[in-house]
Amino acid sequence: MSPTGNSVSTSPCSDRCSDPRGAGTHTTAPKLGDTDPGPDHPAWSWADLHRNRTVYEDGRVLVLDKPEGISVTGERHGTDVVRLAADVGVKLRPVHRIDKVTSGLVVLALEPGAHSDLTRQFTRRQVHKEYLGVLVGSDMPDRGEIDLPLVTASSGRVRIAAPRDAITWDGGARRFGVPVGAVDTSRRVFDSTTTFEVRVRDEDRDLVLVALGPRTGRRHQIRVHTAWVGHPVAGDPLFRTTSRPEVFGRTMLHAHRLGITLPWVGPEAVTFEAPPPAGFELGT
């Protein structure tokens, strides 16, 4: 499966994944079946993930469509993607992470040089990331940005570095923000910006399907940003009083599109796509 055509969609991987030819390859998303245990399966294996969730692979990088319910790495209460691979002798070097409860695209380097090249792009904010999220509240503005600084509380929980009632919506600038004077600087503050655009508005269910673009890559950024402006990700356990977890079987956030340069392939950015799982359709 070639990255050279600028856009690669999820498919069950085969020998094509290591072939850099065939520019412009587009494939359909895999259907979960007997060979793919799905997010509710009690035990993913590396064979399952690699066979059914590989979007692209060459000798230097692996792009996975990670299912919801398994961590990329660092899981303290079970296994994770990196550990599953290590158990069968495969060394993965995570270039970035997405939350355990989030599904979608994850980039994993297969050798140190690629890891350095790719992490540098994330550090310099040269990677284009787009998530799809089902959010609660059909009155969300059509588009704009959420520019709210984050802090980590003493409990370890990520929160906005200002009182909730200091957050305002500027319709002219199309921006959620807080006055500088409202920011709590007693802890280290991290600038954080997320763009958003409503794709589907379902007023009957009071939900919206939104494309979300984190310009910064802070932990839990999208989940905290959307919740604090009154539109939590549906089903999110971090905000269970407002996210309707009893209605949704998962956190409705999916890493849908990612654009990154693979220097060993060429100078142009490659865009990978993983269509969202069932349940993200609104208004149908």
What whole-number distance in Å separates Cα of residue 62 and Cα of residue 260? Answer: 13
Q: Among positive and negative, which fits the CA dihedral 272, 278, 279, 283? A: positive
DSSP-assigned letters across all residues of 78-124: S-BHHHHHHTTT---EESS---TT-EEEEEEESSHHHHHHHHHHHHT
- Nearest Cα to Cα of residue 66 among 14, 124, 15, 107: 107
Q: Would you put residue 78 in left (φ > 0), alpha (ψ -120 to 50) or beta?
A: left
Among residues 58, 99, 147, 236, which one is catalytic? 99
99 is catalytic: yes
Helix (H, G, I), strand (E, B) or coil at 224: helix
What whole-number distance in Å separates Cα of residue 150 and Cα of residue 158? Answer: 7
What whole-number distance in Å separates Cα of residue 142 and Cα of residue 71? Answer: 32
What whole-number distance in Å separates Cα of residue 145 and Cα of residue 196? Answer: 6
Q: Are 93 and 112 in contact (CB under 8 A)?
A: yes
What whole-number distance in Å separates Cα of residue 94 and Cα of residue 79? Answer: 15
Question: Any idea which residues carry the catalytic annotation?
Answer: 99
